[in-house]
Amino acid sequence: MKKAALLLFPVLALAALGLWVYDNLTAPMGSFFSDGTGWVMALARLAGILGALGVMGQILLMSRASWLAPLTGGLPPVKWHHRAGLAIPLLLLAHPPLVAWHHSLMSGLPFTEQYLAILRWEDVPQAAAGLTLIVAAALLSLDCFRRRLPYALWQRLHLGVYLGLALSVGHQLELGGDLSAELPYFAWAWYGLLAFTAANALWFRLLEPRFRERA
């Protein structure tokens, strides 16, 4: 059972990436990979997808899920978590300017004007707030900051990653063209990943410890 659980997230993640590529190659309006402007949007979406997958993976790694024990010997893989946590925000930070660049090329608006216009789109302010929380958690994990903070405070601030991911979901549903594509297979895989991550975080970080305390 634990081995099956270990495979579920990577299999779903690889399936989602494969289906995303397929959807973009066979889109009725034409492939994103057919010209330079389309490539910019493809890279923008890929950065967002990979960044979000990274955040979900981070949440799972530190969820203390029992099925992770074969990987970690029962201990959280702190080094993996720390190194990935410094790299994942770079992908997320690349997503907004690439989206703005694509729309700037399409509309003819200057980049800055287009970027500010996108920030006013529905659910984008919440996503921007979520990105800020995730980047702040990564910055606070740098030794120069972490050593100056009490561990209990640092841990509470670090939990902002959970809220950051939750705040980003709205713009994915409202604006994510990949989730509203004619073929729903990528969307099914993506929703499965979100549900799997949320269920593990809720059970192993919140509910199971409370049940153990009462037992």
Q: For 134-161, what is each residue's pLDDT tens digit?
A: 999 888 888 888 888 888 888 888 888 8
Task: For residue range 69-127, list pLDDT tens digits in order.
Answer: 776 555 555 667 777 787 899 999 999 999 999 999 999 999 999 999 999 999 999 99
Would you place residue 129 in the very low, low, confident or very high pLDDT band (cuts 50, 70, 90)?
Answer: very high
Minimal CA–CA distance to 174: which of 110, 123, 108?
123
> Model-level pTM?
0.88
Q: Which residues contact 13 (CB under 8 A, 6 or more apart)?
A: 53, 57, 193
Percent of the chain at pLDDT > 70 equals: 89
**Segments forming the whole domain that contains residue 161:** 2-214
Total number of domains in the chain: 1
